[in-house]
Structure 1
């Protein structure tokens, strides 16, 4: 038999300059990261100039504090910072045993000074005072402001944490909560930080509990204090609840334990909706599950409305939020844009029965990143009050239509795509 034909294939040896390849890959990655980061910085710079020319300082409607009784607890809704601060300062002034104050931002301005003096005075007259503030959020405040009398127990949540660079959730979350509990009898929670700006210039929502349900916020403060206290800090007693109030419960996000129930209460409530969903948010960047839940509700005939600032104090958050507008508007969700001022509330009410008031925004940082607390309330009276507040805020809003949104400039559409990779940061 003849020999089989030999293959004409000749192996070719190719030298690959791996060092050059690595350089190309590295430079490409850096360029890919630099483009959205540069765009984000540009957006914020432009917005800063715009904010100086057109400040968010227009007058806006507010409502007087409104009470609702839930079992043995009185819940009061506040929509104006000056009213809230007077109630908080009055509670501190009347304290007999304990004051627990936790805040994200505490400005060193006249309003901040009033709160500092109030807790200092309480401590001097023998009240046990415990204060928590977030170090990172207050970097611009002079350190001397946070020097209290020795009787005040102060916990500064660290500004720099090990997980920030590696995006490790257990070691990177901020303390975004705002809580005041006095004598285990009266407690406050909501979106208001402490400062002059928030007293009169921002529209926000806070809730006061007077009665047994104050335990929900006391327990949240005590758990956080004991988790993060240093050796110099005393241990707070973890008391059980003598009174169970299932209609009013606190949901607490705790990144160190990878526990994030606030997202869950939103998803559960949205899935139950049959008539209407009213959401007010400062920064609305829902994840896929919440977005899908809202669209599913709208598809089954629920009146879904989301009220957000037309221009907030965080331009980048505004741009990233707009990336959801196309799907929301196409799906029948109505978007209300608050005019002339910053609306900072974190509230929702559904079907005249379920409500939430708290500190969490509907974005990644709040729902799966920061320490947050929201009250979940199943009560017709509170829901009615918050629906009235929502309609009040609607009177200072304009509705974004799909036609208007679809007609935005091509430059805006390109900018939205370029900024999209920055979403994990917010």
Structure 2
């Protein structure tokens, strides 16, 4: 064998070995990260309001009584959040997925920087991928003011096994005494009132009462994971007296080998609904077992409705097309589907039987349920459920309800895109 032939064979062998090692590494990472999805069959004749301890326990939380909830819609959320940051006296913790340079980014940077300069402990945790477009000036301003600014899962060899895992939570905790949870991001499209075709619609809540400790715990989980820093004391976990009569439980944990808490929560309540399930979610791609569970709910007489943006209203039409792939099955199951064409409806909301609500950062898709770090609140209160259903009813007249016969007749190109993009639904 000539030297060149020997060298060529060696190179081919080395390439094959490297490819084999890469495949093996991928299988190892997959086997570590995989979990068993819950079976969506639950035997219970009790109403959901009687099962809150069970639902909270299954989703690795506790039902906490004595809370108050204020619903904040669209750009008004940031008016309230920034005002409350300005009133902080000890600590400010803020965590989000998206932060882009702009008017809103500067407002947030100003508010956080001012509190840090006043001597408060200000901790800011941003997802490294979602917030890669944060303004350099905004970042420098906060760091120079004394804010502790960290990025979740930066691109690094040390994070190679978790690079696909993103911090999708949106939360804030002020002095350990009030918290904010929802879907709002620090991007200019979240300003305004979602009526000009450019600004987005969204919902978040302001919380007071003992549930704030649970939100603080969610923040500390990822903060500790990124920095190693633990924090204790009355400035972060003060004694909290009741502020109202609302029971809340928080789902955010991701145990090894078991389905994440947000997935268990959303799937469990589908099985428990007795009257209606109303969903508002921007990225609705339910798994086959969830679709079957929706169908079983309809057979029980449950009114199941889902509202989402259309491709023209979405910030990511690929996701809407991936969701379209299962519309026919959903419609045949009796699920009513509504698409809003005017702007992005970004709220992540589910109400059950007019008494219980889920609200938080979780999309109804594989990425949120299986991969991302999320937080969703389960709120037992007919008043809050009524407010959320009223938001559904506000947007419904401007939606297009999808009808089965017309949907089956959509064009071949539309169908092709639906099936193509669905292949990638777990990473969209």
Give yes or no for TM over 0.5.
yes
Separation (CA, whole Å) in 2 of partners of 1:257 and 1:125: 44
2:73 is matched with 79
Deviation, 1:185, is 1.5
- Higher Rg of the two aligned structures: 1
1:280 equivalent to 2:273? Answer no
Query: Matches of residues 340-419 of structure 1 in structure 2 within 5 Å?
Result: 340-419=342-421
1:152 equivalent to 2:154? Answer no
2:22 is matched with none
Deviation, 1:284, is 0.5
- CA 1:158/1:71 → structure 2, altered by over 3 Å: closer, same or farther? closer
Deviation, 1:258, is 5.9
Deviation, 1:243, is 6.6
Answer whether contact 1:99 1:128 (CA < 8 A) is retained: yes
1:59 is matched with none
Deviations 1:124-182 (A, max 9, x none): 112111110111112233434312225211111133255987xx5x5531011111110
Separation (CA, whole Å) in 1 of partners of 2:89 and 2:221: 22
1:46 is matched with none
Answer whether contact 2:282 2:346 (CA < 8 A) is retained: yes
TM-score after normalising by structure 2:
0.77
1:31 is matched with none
Separation (CA, whole Å) in 2 of partners of 1:229 and 1:286: 35
1:100 equivalent to 2:111? Answer no
Secondary structure in 1 matching 2:80: helix
Query: Matches of residues 7-22 of structure 1 in structure 2 within 5 Å?
Result: none
- CA 1:242/1:203 → structure 2, altered by over 3 Å: closer, same or farther? closer
Separation (CA, whole Å) in 2 of partners of 1:102 and 1:256: 23
Runs of at least 5 residues in structure 1 that lack an aligned partner in the other structure: 1-18, 27-69
Which residue of 106, 126, 136 maps to 1:143? 136
TM-score after normalising by structure 1:
0.77
* Worse-superposed segment, 393-402 or 414-423: 414-423
Deviations 1:238-281 (A, max 9, x none): 85976799920110043778661111111211111111110011
2:289 is matched with 289
Q: Count residues in correspondence.
A: 354
- CA 1:84/1:218 → structure 2, altered by over 3 Å: closer, same or farther? same
Secondary structure in 2 matching 1:285: coil
Q: CA RMSD in A?
A: 2.6
Deviations 1:17-37 (A, max 9, x none): xx9xxx9xx9xxxxxxxxxxx
2:223 is matched with 225
Separation (CA, whole Å) in 1 of partners of 2:407 and 2:170: 35
Answer whether contact 2:322 2:419 (CA < 8 A) is retained: no
Answer whether contact 1:283 1:361 (CA < 8 A) is retained: yes
Runs of at least 5 residues in structure 2 that lack an aligned partner in the other structure: 1-11, 20-63, 193-198
